[in-house]
Amino acid sequence: MGQADADTPTLGVGMVGYAFMGAAHSQGWRTAGHVFDLPRRPVLAAICGRDPGAVRAAANKHGWAAAETDWRALVERDDVDLVDICTPGDSHAEIALAALAAGKHVLCEKPLANTVEEAMAMTAAAEEAEQRGQLAMVGFNYRRLPATALARSMVAEGRLGSLRHVRVTYLQDWLVDPQFPLTWRLRKETAGSGALGDLGAHIIDLAQYLVGEHLAGVSALTETFVRERPLPGGAVNGLTATAGATVGAGQVTVDDAAVFTGRFASGALASFEATRYATGRKNALRIELNGERGSLAFDLERLNELEFHDGTEPGAHAGFRRILVTEPDHPYLDAWWPPGHGLGYEHSFVHQARDLVHAIAEGSRPRPSFADGLQVQRVLAAVEESAGRNSVYTPIAVSPTAVSSVSV
């Protein structure tokens, strides 16, 4: 396992946001240099949040040297080389544009923005900044699981032949209770969309990454099952209730579930389902790809495994077999444990930090880039447009400057 020496150049990281994703990203930055031999040593310089007490507690818990309450002050710090954005989607564009203008590298959580227009502005700024040596990446961490990275390699090698079908589901149940309070994730002005952006962005990116192509168009349905929810104590997006109590109700302005079909550029068909109303499902992501020569399947609840069917084998003994993705020649695993000792969800963020540090040191565009994030944003917008037109097939534009989101 790696450990940078004192002569290794540092990479000062400043992070905006300290909740769920902030904790996950902190784990990644804190651990990457202790596992992998990195060309630059990540240093947790400063973390930012609006609540002084909470952000100071997060800094102490996760190992950040300093705490800020204004993201602008964090961006201006001389000891911050990279700004990691782990905030709600409504602030992604403003923070990313300011950080790039200030000469920083940027890592931004998914989805890239709340609108295509914001994502376009961020992508244009990132491409200009790249000419100055600054790099920007989107945090689609499920690309960084060894099993999904292996699946991408197998597809690229032609093990499945021409693809025919892709089916993806991402199922959660945390909104099943109608008394769950109205949080920022349930308001369009902060979240952009509901299950579509929160879960759908992940499976759109993962499908395009594994297939090696962009989606060309979609036909979609969305639904909001509970349209009003209790207001929590305090203020939520301009709506107020008595502190410490649940008083009144506010309108849910995003989708609870999205179901859509799509077609890839090659003609392969795809189906997608993203919901926060699948009772009993906590974080159930599954993807299957069927090709003329074979099939692959991945289940996040068994994230060290990949199912593979080799359709070229004689039928008498053919069938799906389990690949235990823990060997040192599997992606990322040469730095971890002996074969058979599995990794977990948090390791995807360690791998994300590793890959971004290497890209910065090498001066190469990281994947997924902001252009890749823009492509996902276009698909999200097409899904919403199609759903608004009662499932009318909606083609997806591809920016002429977009770099394929499918590079290995």
* Class of the CATH-defined domain 10-141: alpha beta
Give the separation between CA 308 and CA 305, rounded to whole angstroms. 10
Helix, strand, or coil here: 305?
Answer: strand
Q: What is the pTM of this model?
A: 0.93
Query: What is the structure's pLDDT at 329?
Result: 97
Eight-class DSSP state of 89 = G
249 beta partners:
230
Query: What is the structure's pLDDT at 208?
Result: 98
CATH fold, domain 145-395, is Dihydrodipicolinate Reductase; domain 2 (3.30.360)
Q: What average pLDDT does range 341-362 have in this prediction?
A: 98
- In this prediction, residue 377 has a pLDDT band, given cuts at 50, 70 and 90, of very high
Q: What is the pLDDT of residues 187-210, one digit of tens each?
A: 999 999 999 999 999 999 999 999
Q: What is the pLDDT of residues 283-322, one digit of tens each?
A: 999 999 999 999 999 999 999 999 999 999 998 988 999 9
> 143, 205 in Cβ contact below 8 A?
yes
What ranges do the domains of the chain cover?
10-141, 145-395
* Residue type present at position 52: P
Mean pLDDT (the chain) is: 93
Query: What is the structure's pLDDT at 169?
Result: 98
Dig out the tokens for 115 from the structure. Answer: 């609108």
- The sign of the CA dihedral 111, 114, 258, 373 is negative
Instruction: Identify the weakest region by mean pLDDT among 9-18, 113-122, 240-249.
Output: 240-249
Helix, strand, or coil here: 6?
Answer: coil
Question: Helices (H), strands (E): how many in the chain?
Answer: 11, 19
Dig out the tokens for 176 from the structure. Answer: 């099943």
Query: What is the structure's pLDDT at 247?
Result: 59
Q: What is the pLDDT of residues 47-98, one digit of tens each?
A: 999 999 999 999 999 999 999 999 999 999 999 999 999 999 999 999 999 9
Q: What average pLDDT does range 203-227 have in this prediction?
A: 97
What separation, in Å, do the N-terminal and C-terminal C-alpha atoms of the chain show? Answer: 24
Dig out the tokens for 216 from the structure. Answer: 């060309």
Q: What is the pLDDT of residues 27-36, one digit of tens each?
A: 999 999 999 9
Does residue 108 come out as left (phi exceeding 0), alpha (psi in the -120 to 50 range) or beta?
Answer: beta
Helix, strand, or coil here: 272?
Answer: strand
Q: What average pLDDT does range 141-164 have in this prediction?
A: 98
- C-alpha distances in angstroms, 290 versus 119, 164, 169? 32, 6, 15
Dig out the tokens for 6 from the structure. Answer: 């004192």
| Percentage of residues in the chain having pLDDT higher than 90 | 89
